[in-house]
A and B are shown apart, each in its own frame.
Chain A
Amino acid sequence: MSTIHPDQITAERLAGLTRGVQGGMAPAPGTGDGTLIDTPGVRPPLVLNSRSFKEVTDIICGYAENSPPRWWLPLFGLVSTVAGLGGALIGYLVITGIGAWGMNNQVDWAWDITNFVFWIGIGHAGTLISAILCLLKQKWRTAVNRSAEAMTIFAVICAATFPGIHIGRQWMAWMLFPIPNANAIWPNFRSPLLWDVFAVSTYGTVSALFWFMGMIPDFASLRDRADRRLRANPEGGARLLPFLPVRIDRLRALVYGFLAMGWRNSGRHWHRYEAAYLILAGISTPLVLSVHSIVSFDFATSILPGWHTTIFPPYFVAGAIFGGFAMVLFLLIPARELYPNMKDFITLRHVENMAKIILVTGMMVGFAYSMEFFIAWYGANEYELYCFQNRAFGPYWWAYWTMIGCNVLSPQLFWFKAMRQKPLVVFIVSCAVTVGMWFERFVIIVSSLHRTFLPGEWNMFHPTFVDVGIFVGSCGVFVTLFLLFMRFLPMFAMAELKAVLPQASPHWHGYGHGDHSDHGHGANGHNGHDSHAPARHSSRGAH
């Protein structure tokens, strides 16, 4: 490529010649924010506005240090109230018994397990981003991995609630685990419900470790910045409350300092950190596939038509990644609009990449839906065939077609580049997918259970306000935790983000020098000297 990019402004900005407007910039016509160039010779930048290392630190630490945006506190009040009401309803459920839910002898799993599978599936995007995309060196993951991992943890917390409260005698929940006891009985080791306990607890532990370990260097940055402010201003500084002698920075230094676990930024620390990161990525990689496979065994190992299917494990895993990425977009698209400068890190390219993953996994899920019907016909088992006919045309037809509309049809929009590149469209589709994935689990569980072999057993499921309230409450818990994360923790992996800046390349020539003729701005050594395209300047990272 021997001409400069047709969009002169973008090209100059990408070359570091001009700086974008602080706090978001006017998108250049035709190329969005400049990261959507599809010319093979141009690698779009992963961080916009030619941010320096210091700016990256200042912006990201600023999210945790400055007062939150004006909408934060009212939203937090709202969702934490919802979470509290959900908790109160769980209390009501424990006191009353699970008869407070709408389940009956025929439909004995309903919203409880639907919600469990829904939430546990959500988490898979975080693990995929942090583990598999890490091993595949997909550098765009650095902007979204921290928040996706946080989302994973919070989703696992929501998910773990439901098996715990659906057992009827919640005070016996410890019997889920193989603990020696005075009854000399053990969980059934041949039951996938027990494998589930192991799968989910391993998943939660590894995800939490991965998340926490990744944050250690960033905690150290926050600690050092707080400590520096304290030293610069030994007497003053904002206080926690006007009448308390505790200064906020003192508290920050202590808390972040504790969490940083003595991180000194030494070479040895980084060496250990990188090794541990790779090990955890290696451990997490099989978890992406195993956890939801085992969740699917809860159904697939039974003999119930509609559940007893060998396609379930891959189908569930694809669905989990599908729903998880939808949730990442659901959280991050509003966040990048509402937080200052966040569009520099989460660019339209990130949105588009995730939209592509949604398209691919949505097609996989759609294939699984149709294959279930094909096998029901091809297998010539009348119960199986009836189950699927009933699923699509029985009393729960509306749930089935909601699922098809949200999960199979709505992502088809992403065949069109223009749709993938519009955050509003992507946001709406991700909302639809999130709804659709909840309905998928509802369809699998309730429509299979409500009409089994004997027509005398057939029954319908009607949710009660406790069903609805606890599910809405779990959404409240999820958003509450995510808001707290955005307020108090480093929302991006700063070191990783800096590593994808052009300055991190050994071939980098310096900030904003004017020479862009044929000197070789390329950050990639191999094309550094055959290029005078300014757009190559920030060319690091795959996309």
Chain B
Amino acid sequence: MSLIFPKWLNLLPTAAAIGGLLGFTGVVGGFWYYATPKFFKVGYMPKQPGGGFNHQIHAGKLGLDCRYCHTKVEKSAEANIPNVATCYGCHADNRLAKLATSETHKERTQFVREAYAQNTSIEWRRVHKVPDYVRNFPHNIHINAGVSCYSCHGQITAMPVVFEAQPLSMSWCLDCHRNPESQVVPRDKVTQLQWVQEEFARRSAAGDNGVAEGKKLLDAVQANPPQNCGACHY
């Protein structure tokens, strides 16, 4: 046998094995953390016209119901974005005095009145979007089955600017479709996000994560979330 390599090279197999293992773990871990929707989708908060519709003030402090603006959410697949007229209903010149008096507020909502005067739309940026190979997410079905806005959109009433609170990945959808009990609330509480958050906290403290209660609610509406491909992709 010829001596070609130095003796320390005997460490190579060990080093390669350890390096390979660490490298593999690093790649898998890095991919799992950085390349999945829970990293690159959660927290998505695009810049909105006029600084954005402040849900914290409107839905939280003032207590507007979600359905005041998203009028068709119970009847249509699409949770519609309100048109300018809905905004103008409150933010018209003659009403403004009663609602907010400061100059800053008047300035910050000026774009609403301008858009109304010019008969154009406000170009809100879409925050929650599922891929194009997914059928339009049917809001009406979920709402009527007792899935709260809170389950997918997070505590909107505390968001000055809306951001994506959940990953909206397929596994995230399936988590709920496979175990729907944990996310069901009574039908009349669906849009009361503060109540829902407290209810979920109460249930998780209760021990069984509210499975028993959720089952009762599911039975009441006879909901059976589908898991077949065609339910969402066609």
Q: Give the residues in chain A near B175, CB-CB below 8 Å.
A: 184
Residue in B1, B5, B10, B171 whose beta carbon sits within 8 Å of that of A184 in the complex: B171
In Å, the complex CA distance between A264 and B170 comes to: 55
Interface residues of A in 168-212 (CB under 8 A from B): 181-185
What interface size band does chain B fall in? 10 to 19
Q: Give the residues in chain A near B5, CB-CB below 8 Å.
A: 257-258
Residue in B4, B36, B167, B174 whose beta carbon sits within 8 Å of that of A227 in the complex: B4
Q: Give the residues in chain B near A183, CB-CB below 8 Å.
A: 169-171
- Name the residue of chain A whose CB is nearest to the CB of B229: A185
- Counting CB contacts under 8 A, is B37 at the interface? yes
Check if A223 sits within 8 Å of B2, measured CB to CB.
yes
Check if B1 sits within 8 Å of A224, measured CB to CB.
yes
Shortest Cβ distance from residue B44 to the other chain A in the assembled complex, whole angstroms: 15
Q: Give the residues in chain B near A227, CB-CB below 8 Å.
A: 2, 4
Check if A223 sits within 8 Å of B170, measured CB to CB.
no
- Name the residue of chain A whose CB is nearest to the CB of B171: A184
Check if A224 sits within 8 Å of B2, measured CB to CB.
yes
- Counting CB contacts under 8 A, is A239 at the interface? no
- Counting CB contacts under 8 A, is A443 at the interface? no
- Counting CB contacts under 8 A, is A383 at the interface? no
Shortest Cβ distance from residue A265 to the other chain B in the assembled complex, whole angstroms: 7
Binary flags per residue of B169-207, CB closer than 8 Å to A gives 1, else 0: 111001100000000000000000000000000000000
In Å, the complex CA distance between A224 and B170 comes to: 57
- Counting CB contacts under 8 A, is A253 at the interface? yes
- Counting CB contacts under 8 A, is A129 at the interface? no
- Counting CB contacts under 8 A, is A263 at the interface? yes
Check if A263 sits within 8 Å of B1, measured CB to CB.
yes
Q: Give the residues in chain B near A228, CB-CB below 8 Å.
A: 2
Given contacts A182-B36, A182-B37, contact A257 B4 (CB under 8 A): yes
Residue in A181, A223, A254 whose beta carbon sits within 8 Å of that of B171 in the complex: A181
Binary flags per residue of A204-246, CB closer than 8 Å to B gives 1, else 0: 0000000000000000100110011000000000000000000
Shortest Cβ distance from residue B88 to the other chain A in the assembled complex, whole angstroms: 41
In Å, the complex CA distance between A543 and B36 comes to: 60
In Å, the complex CA distance between A355 and B36 comes to: 56
Given contacts A182-B36, A182-B37, contact A257 B2 (CB under 8 A): yes
- Name the residue of chain B whose CB is nearest to the CB of A257: B4
Binary flags per residue of B22-45, CB closer than 8 Å to A gives 1, else 0: 000000000000001110000000
In Å, the complex CA distance between A276 and B110 comes to: 81
Interface residues of B in 114-161 (CB under 8 A from A): none
Residue in B4, B169, B174 whose beta carbon sits within 8 Å of that of A254 in the complex: B4
- Name the residue of chain B whose CB is nearest to the CB of A220: B1
In Å, the complex CA distance between A263 and B1 comes to: 8
- Name the residue of chain A whose CB is nearest to the CB of B3: A227
Check if B170 sits within 8 Å of A184, measured CB to CB.
yes
Binary flags per residue of A265-308, CB closer than 8 Å to B gives 1, else 0: 10000000000000000000000000000000000000000000
In Å, the complex CA distance between A223 and B5 comes to: 11
Check if A184 sits within 8 Å of B2, measured CB to CB.
no
Check if B36 sits within 8 Å of A184, measured CB to CB.
no
Q: Give the residues in chain A near B4, CB-CB below 8 Å.
A: 223, 227, 253-254, 257
Q: Give the residues in chain B near A265, CB-CB below 8 Å.
A: 1
In Å, the complex CA distance between A253 and B37 comes to: 49
- Name the residue of chain A whose CB is nearest to the CB of B38: A182
Q: Give the residues in chain A near B170, CB-CB below 8 Å.
A: 182-185
Check if B1 sits within 8 Å of A182, measured CB to CB.
no
Check if A182 sits within 8 Å of B171, measured CB to CB.
yes
In Å, the complex CA distance between A257 and B38 comes to: 47
- Name the residue of chain B whose CB is nearest to the CB of A181: B171
Q: Give the residues in chain A near B174, CB-CB below 8 Å.
A: 184-185
Shortest Cβ distance from residue A253 to the other chain B in the assembled complex, whole angstroms: 5
Binary flags per residue of A252-264, CB closer than 8 Å to B gives 1, else 0: 0110011000111
Shortest Cβ distance from residue B109 to the other chain A in the assembled complex, whole angstroms: 40
Shortest Cβ distance from residue B129 to the other chain A in the assembled complex, whole angstroms: 16
Shortest Cβ distance from residue B9 to the other chain A in the assembled complex, whole angstroms: 9
Shortest Cβ distance from residue A46 to the other chain B in the assembled complex, whole angstroms: 29
Q: Give the residues in chain A near B36, CB-CB below 8 Å.
A: 182
Q: Give the residues in chain B near A220, CB-CB below 8 Å.
A: 1
Shortest Cβ distance from residue B19 to the other chain A in the assembled complex, whole angstroms: 16
Q: Give the residues in chain B near A254, CB-CB below 8 Å.
A: 4
- Name the residue of chain B whose CB is nearest to the CB of A253: B4
Q: Give the residues in chain B near A223, CB-CB below 8 Å.
A: 2, 4
In Å, the complex CA distance between A512 and B38 comes to: 79
Check if A264 sits within 8 Å of B1, measured CB to CB.
yes
Shortest Cβ distance from residue B13 to the other chain A in the assembled complex, whole angstroms: 8
Shortest Cβ distance from residue A185 to the other chain B in the assembled complex, whole angstroms: 7
- Name the residue of chain B whose CB is nearest to the CB of A254: B4
- Name the residue of chain B whose CB is nearest to the CB of A250: B4
In Å, the complex CA distance between A174 and B37 comes to: 18
B4, B5, B37, B170 interface centre (most CB from chain A within 10 Å): B4
Q: Give the residues in chain B near A181, CB-CB below 8 Å.
A: 171
Q: Give the residues in chain A near B2, CB-CB below 8 Å.
A: 223-224, 227-228, 253, 257
Q: Give the residues in chain A near B169, CB-CB below 8 Å.
A: 182-183
- Name the residue of chain A whose CB is nearest to the CB of B169: A182
In Å, the complex CA distance between A181 and B36 comes to: 8
In Å, the complex CA distance between A181 and B174 comes to: 12
Q: Give the residues in chain A near B37, CB-CB below 8 Å.
A: 182
In Å, the complex CA distance between A224 and B1 comes to: 6
Shortest Cβ distance from residue A69 to the other chain B in the assembled complex, whole angstroms: 29
Shortest Cβ distance from residue B20 to the other chain A in the assembled complex, whole angstroms: 16
- Name the residue of chain A whose CB is nearest to the CB of B1: A264
Shortest Cβ distance from residue A226 to the other chain B in the assembled complex, whole angstroms: 8
In Å, the complex CA distance between A262 and B11 comes to: 12
Q: Give the residues in chain B near A257, CB-CB below 8 Å.
A: 2, 4-5
A and B contact pairs by CB, cutoff 8 A, 17 listed:
A182-B37, A182-B169, A182-B170, A182-B171, A183-B169, A183-B170, A184-B170, A184-B171, A184-B175, A220-B1, A223-B2, A223-B4, A224-B1, A257-B4, A257-B5, A258-B5, A262-B10
Closest 8 CB pairs of A and B: A184-B171, A227-B2, A183-B170, A182-B169, A264-B1, A257-B4, A182-B36, A184-B174
- Beyond the given A183-B171, A227-B4, A262-B10, please list 17 additional residue pairs across the A-B interface where CB-CB is below 8 A: A181-B171, A182-B36, A182-B171, A183-B170, A184-B170, A184-B175, A185-B170, A185-B174, A223-B2, A223-B4, A227-B2, A228-B2, A253-B2, A257-B4, A258-B5, A263-B1, A264-B1
